[in-house]
Amino acid sequence: MIRLNDIAVKFGDFTALHDINVHVKEGEFFTFLGPSGCGKTTTLRTITGFIEPVSGSVVVKDKDITHVPIEERNIGIVFQSYALFPTMTVYDNIAFGLKLKKLKKAEVARKVNDIAKKVDLSEEQLKKAVSQLSGGQQQRVAIARALVTEPAIICMDEPLSNLDAKLRVQLRNELKQMQKDFGITTIYVTHDQEEALTLSDHIAVFNKGVIEQIGTPNEVYNHSATEFVCNFIGDINLLQAEAVSALNRAGGRVDPAAHNYIRLERIHVNVDPKPGSVALEGVVDSREYYGLYIKYYIRAAGQIIKVIEKNDGVNIYEVGQAVQVVMDPRDVMAYPAE
Amino acid sequence: MTKNRSVQMGPALLVKLFGIAFFAYLFLGFMLLPCLNTLASIFTTQNASGETDPLAVIRFFFAGNMGSFVWNSLKLAVCLVITVNVVGVSIVLLTEYFDIKGAKILRLGYMTTLIYSGVALVTGYLFLYDSNGIITTLLVNAFPGMNPNWFSGFNAVLFTMTFACTSNHALFLRNAIRGIDYNTVEAARNMGARPFKVLWKVVFPTLVPTMFSLTVMTFITGLCAMSAPTLLGYDSINPEIVRLAGSSTADEAFPQARAALLSIILAMFTIVLLTVLSSYERKGHYLSVSKTKAKLQKQRIDNPVWNILAHLYAYILFIIYMIPVVMIIIFSFQTYGAIRMKKLDLTNWTLINFFGTQDYQYLTNRGTYKTRKGSISGLFANEATLGGIKLSFILSAIAAALACVIVVVACNYIFKNRKKKSGTVLEYCLLFPWLLPTILICYSYRVYFNSEDVWYVGGTNLYYAGHVRLLIILAYTVVKLPFSLRMIKAAFYAIDEELEDAARNLGSSSLATFLKVKLPIILPSVLAVFALNFNALFTEYDMSATFASSYGTTYAMVIQSMCREEGLYGYNVNASGRRCASTVFIMIVSGIILYLVYGVGARDLGERLEIRDRRRKRLEKLKSFGKKSKEVNV
């Protein structure tokens, strides 16, 4: 569906992107994830045509669109700020693209009303100015506006970042549902790893203008290709020499020369170690209360090891309490030290 | 693909080349060359024997009394900075910061200078405070020791301009004070600061940048004062330049070169001041860091004595602002006799000054009335007065619109090429007239285009006959460019860049994006600038006076001539009535324009829709009420 081949983008002397190769399949939800300034939005803007790459090509449905003008690409976009036209009503905002295509008035009205129904905007709301709508409603308008011209692809640039936490989760689910219903190929930009993990079919993790890994949420999370990816996604423990040698004593094959990581949820407290696992003696140093779970900072094997435990009222440990930390060497992700 | 693009570049390139040519023509032809010509003329003075003597004028300057005009202007400017700032800050604090009863009414009074300014205001003040004016007579009766001639020369100019030049304070300082985050005031109070301490330590520092700009602008206004010194008799630079420009070598030594020298001196002062201002602005200063600003709440003055004094002060200022306006309105409905005697006749009201079509009567020395044939008394029937208003209306409207169009096009380019040199160059070109006093531009135009040798205007003498109107439009437009640019550029900053991307993404061309997305957003600001330009030009005096010509008799010149008629000859009493009436007419026109722009035009789409909604509901309610009552009747 979409192929980015060896894309490089420069701003003056600064190389913003290089060696970008992505393949997005038809109907897929594909996420660009990374910290701010990593090049994910630049890549998105290269696809929509706001930025022209110095080399490489953008191919959509086997057609090279690298130099096709923005307005002829038929790729919808939902902006971070929504970029709704403040001088137009909701209806006029959605109809803008259709009118430019010189569609008949009745046709425009039909399409606008159809899409409005699908994104759950009432007829009353269509008559309003965008400033009269709430953040969540404005976001629906932005999505409706991007979808109404029936683009082949829709791009979303951090569309949830302007909303409060609760609405963000609610709309995230709606977004996924809408994408499924419309079946439209979606490229989604975010710096929020939770969003990326819950929404995506595939994730491309960006760092400093290059892609570190492309994979399914599970691949990216549990089999992070690089040290950057494993650090960026989720919380993780970097194991020090003492812990590594303990693991190896228990029969693990952990390379002491490498950087070895283990996820928090892969470590357990006060359970009987399975064969091959190792139990370390430790003391609870501090804890953070999250409601759903509790994060413990446990001093063991000469370092602090972070662990999360479900807040089920059973496994509650006090600060200063002696505990056993149990981990399996097969859960360790190792990266060569540079 | 490349071929395709080069074809697309065709018309775009043409537009670009045309744009460059246009702005180069505008800048070189109507800003740089005329003024350089003026500068050069100083050094090409010929002495009595016909030899060129480059330093003759400069020697004359140091030997003669020319220096006194510069000194007088400086004195006026320095004094005005003090008085205007005191009054300007007072009116803003009294209406926006302190809890003064009737603040809304007070604000309207203080803002009257927005619709009542220039020659109209000066003649109004003259009418009240002259030695036989209403107020002076009242005051002399109350305080017999008072000098009835107090309103003349420097005192009169300073008094008039102090109250006439606070419009900028009323607009910009008001905005600055309303932009204060009230939480900072509360924080200071919470930490134990007394109200006046808060005012001094928290509020004032945030106003300093605005105050600094206003001070520089006031200083320049004082230096370049024109209508007040001319009408009230004070020898400052501008009236002297106008006098010299109309003089000839037969009467005095090289008047043209002297006028040129004075206008260049004025320009140097302006350039120095504006350089100081812009380097100050560039340094960057206080910026509000708060993300959630709390609205300023009015401060009650707890001490009862101070509270009463503040109220007293507020209402005295209000009276000073309102008296000329009220009197002009009242007297515009009075008869010739009442106006002539400057005595209200409450038993005798008339519309003759507005709609009178009969020849006017005048009072003879013997105290009897005589009719003067062929002269018409009513504003809307008198050809000369109406002609002046019409001319000013048309010239100002064209120039105000031209300035806006040029600046909008330029801003669109400047914002697209923000990081390129061409954008910056264009911006500085349009700001250039800001460095030049209006009088220098007009004087330069008058001299430079008063010849058939200027090839780029087709070898036409633009100062000749009806062409002078074109020259006035040009001057009006050029003079209004810097202000328009500053204001409209600010509006462009408010356009979210993503809006443009969004429109392009939805298939909109560059032109369509500008017309359908960007223009509607900046339109309220553009209209506001148009209105402010129009209002300023409509009653403008400096430029018309410099171009003084029977083909360019604008509204301000008509007022001046009416004033002269009644003053010098004493018999054309009717001119006073018409003057009052035409001033009232102008106030109404300016007031309506300001209301439309700030009251109606400033509403965003949401507010407009809400108002429409409310109106519809009210209508429905009325209808249903009608139905019900009918039903009841049945």
Cβ partners under 8 Å of residue B376, min gap 6? B356, B357, B358, B359, B360, B382, B383
Taking the C-alpha atoms of residue B89 and residue B76, their distance in angstroms, rounded to an integer, is 19
Q: Which of A48, A86, A132 sits opposite B521 (nearest CB)?
A: A86
pLDDT at B420: 84
Percent of chain A with pLDDT over 70: 100
Q: In sequence order, which residues have a C-beta less than 8 Å from that of residue B168 and are 6 or more positions away?
A: B88, B214, B217, B218
Q: Is B420 on the interface with A (CB under 8 A)?
A: no
Q: CA-based diameter of chain B, in Å? A: 104
Nearest to B603 by CA among B614, B590, B619, B616: B614
Residue whose token pair is 């006035």: B472
Is B606 close to A75, i.e. CB distance below 8 A? no
Collapsing DSSP to helix, strand or coil, A200 comes out as: coil
Min Cα distance A215 → chain B (Å) is: 29
Distance between CA B67 and CA B312 in Å, rounded? Answer: 42
Find chain B residues with C-beta within 8 A of A42's C-beta: none
State the DSSP H helix or E strand holding residue B462, giving kind and residue range, or none if neither.
none
pLDDT-wise least confident of A2-11, A88-97, B50-59, B320-329: B50-59
Task: State both tokens at A97.
Answer: 């693209």
Backbone angles phi, psi at B219, to 5 degrees: -60, -45
User: Cβ distance A258 to A247 under 8 Å?
Assistant: no
Q: Distance (Å, rounded) from C-alpha B190 to C-alpha B209?
A: 26
Shortest distance between the Cα of B5 and any Cα of chain A, in A, equals: 9
User: pLDDT confidence of B7, banded at 50, 70, 90?
Assistant: very low
How does pLDDT run across B104-138, given as a tens digit for each residue?
999 999 999 888 888 888 888 988 898 888 889 88
Tell me how close the Cα of B494 comes to any Cα of chain A, in angstroms: 11
Does residue B276 come out as left (phi exceeding 0), alpha (psi in the -120 to 50 range) or beta?
alpha
The rounded Cα A68 to chain-centroid distance in angstroms is: 28
* Helix axes of B255-282 and B66-92: crossing angle, nearest 10 degrees: 40
The pLDDT-based confidence of B625 (bands split at 50, 70, 90) is: confident
Q: CA torsion sign, B115 to B117 to B118 to B123?
A: positive
Give the length of chain B: 634
B494 touching chain A per CB within 8 A: no
Q: Please compute Rg for chain B using Cα positions.
A: 28
Amino acid at A299: R
What's the CA gap between B229 and B158, in Å, rounded? 9
Which of A11, A2, A1 lies closest to A53, judged by CA? A11
Examine the pLDDT at B507 and tell me if it is beyond 80: yes
B619 exposure class (CB count in 10 Å sphere: 0-12, 13-18, 19+):
exposed
Which has the higher per-residue pLDDT, B343 or B22?
B22
| pLDDT tens string B192-230 | 888 888 888 888 888 888 898 899 889 999 999 998 999
DSSP strand pairing (A333-335 vs B359-363):
unpaired
Q: Which residues of B touch A132 (CB under 8 A)?
A: 606, 609-610
**B438: nearest Cα among B472, B467, B410:** B472
Supply the ipTM of this predicted assembly: 0.78
Partners of A73 on chain B (C-beta within 8 Å) are 505
Q: Is B503 on the interface with A (CB under 8 A)?
A: yes
How many A×B Cβ pairs under 8 Å? 86
Tell me whether B516 touches chain A (CB under 8 Å). yes
CA angle, B442 as apex, B436 and B448 as ends, to 5°?
A: 105
Q: How many CB atoms lie within 10 A of CB B333?
A: 18
Q: Are A326 and A271 in contact (CB under 8 A)?
A: yes
Q: What is the DSSP letter of B550?
A: G
- What CA–CA distance (Å, rounded) separates A125 from B169? 42
pLDDT bucket at A245, cuts 50 / 70 / 90: very high
Q: What is the DSSP letter of A7?
A: E
CB contact under 8 A, B609 and A89: yes
Selection from B334, B300, B400 nearest residue B100 by Cα: B300
Higher-confidence residue of B117 and A123: namely A123
Mean residue pLDDT of chain B comes to 85
Distance CA B164, CA A93 (A): 46
Radius of gyration for chain A, computed over Cα atoms and rounded to the nearest angstrom: 24
CB neighbour list of residue B63: distance below 8 Å, 6 or more residues apart: none
Give the 3-state secondary structure of residue A211: strand
B508 interfaces chain A, CB cutoff of 8 Å: yes
The helix or strand, by DSSP H or E, that contains position A223, with its residue range, turns out to be: none
Q: What DSSP string runs through B37-65? A: HHHHHHTT-B-TTS-B-TTHHHHHHHHSS
Between CA B166 and CA B129 the distance in angstroms is: 20
Please state, as a whole number, how many other Cβ atoms lie within 10 Å of the Cβ of residue B54. 10
User: Cβ neighbours of residue B607 under 8 Å, at least 6 residues apart?
Assistant: none
Range in B144-158, B240-254, B451-465, B565-579 the model is least confident about: B565-579
Weakest-pLDDT range from A244-258, B226-240, B368-382, B597-611? B368-382
Mean pLDDT within B483-498:
85
User: What's the Cα-to-Cα distance from B216 to each of A225, B170, B192, B485, rounded to whole Å?
Assistant: 63, 16, 35, 19
Sheet with A29-33, edge to edge strand ranges: A75-78, A153-157, A185-190, A29-33, A202-207, A210-215
Nearest to B501 among A83, A85, A149 (CB): A83
- Report pLDDT for A74: 86
Which residues does A contribute to its contact with B (CB < 8 Å)? Answer: 48-50, 67, 70-73, 75-77, 79-81, 83-89, 96-97, 100-101, 127-132, 145, 149
Q: Which residues of B fall within a CB distance of 8 Å from A149?
A: 506-507
Residue B353: enclosing H or E segment and its boundaries?
helix B352-355
Q: How many CB atoms lie within 10 A of CB A222?
A: 16
pLDDT in tens, B385-414: 888 889 999 999 999 999 999 999 999 888
Q: What is the mean pLDDT of residues B349-370?
A: 76
- Is A2 in contact with A59 (CB distance < 8 Å)? yes
Query: Coil, strand or helix: which one is A260?
Result: strand
Least confident of A84-88, A106-110, A275-279, B192-196: B192-196
Using the beta-carbon criterion (under 8 Å), do B508 and A100 form an inter-chain contact? yes
Chain-centroid distance of CA B247 in Å reads 28
Q: Could you give the CA distance from residue A84 to residue A236 in angstroms, rounded to a whole number? A: 40
Residue among B478, B453, B450 at smallest CA distance from B465: B450
pLDDT above 60 for B338: yes
CB B362 within 8 A of CB B340: no
Per-residue pLDDT reduced to its tens digit, B268-311: 998 898 888 878 877 655 555 555 567 788 888 888 999 999 99
pLDDT reading at A259 higher than 80: yes
How confident is the model at residue B629, as a pLDDT?
A: 63
Q: B495 CB near a chain A CB, below 8 Å?
A: no
The answer to whether the Cβ–Cβ distance between A70 and B604 falls below 8 Å is no
B442: tokens are 């007009």
How many Å apart are CA B480 and CA B490, to the nearest integer?
16
Residues whose CB is less than 8 angstroms from the CB of residue B374 and which lie 6 or more positions away in sequence, other chains included: B359
Beta strand extents in chain A (DSSP E only): 2-11, 14-24, 29-33, 55-60, 63-64, 75-78, 153-157, 185-190, 202-207, 210-215, 236-239, 259-263, 268-269, 278-289, 293-300, 303-310, 322-327, 333-335
Q: Which residues contact B320 (CB under 8 A, 6 or more apart)?
A: B163
Q: What is the pLDDT of residues B433-467, one digit of tens each?
A: 988 888 889 989 998 999 888 888 888 888 888 89
Q: Which residue of A has its CA nearest to B507?
A: A71
Nearest to A79 among B502, B605, B608 (CB): B502
Q: Please, is B176 exposed, middle or buried when counting C-beta atoms within 10 Å of its C-beta (0-12, 13-18, 19+)?
A: buried
